[in-house]
Structure 1
């Protein structure tokens, strides 16, 4: 599965997910992508009702891979450790800032 410094082997992650059977799968795009490949290979036996990518950029290609693995379009939220949620998309493919939760301060043009 490749090198995953500081993380358990993918087999352990898959086994833990199979035991837990999550209804919602939330993670970084970089963590969800290899898990989606495992799902397409038939190793995890999970059927989450939804998948949410948070904090990292979710590319169109990775979003398509997640959708192929779990059958639904992933929800993409941009967040940071310092403030949690910052932005999320709407059904019209726009992104909306959580203005009631934070102040956005542009620092250059």
Structure 2
């Protein structure tokens, strides 16, 4: 190893420099503490999900699930409207079904824009 003060070489397991007497143990502790701080920060990021990449992937997954469920609901509304239209000739049911479909399409559009 090399002494940080006088730049002379000394034995690897020595606690003091043989030339100038600098304590080497203090430098080793500083190095270990800095490595520990980095590991602690990485552990904190993982445990609290503060990593931006984790948040983005979780948000994308949730957004995709919500959009998928919205499509399923929209398809069910369309099927229900077709069945209602065949069974009755009431214009009120047909218009309300069409408005529900348009509202669902608009909501899916907005969800996809927010997700991106």
Common fold: TM-score over 0.5: no
Query: Greater strand percent: which structure?
Result: 1
Structure whose residues are more often helix by fraction: 2
TM-score range, shorter chain: under 0.3
Larger radius of gyration between Structure 1 and Structure 2:
2
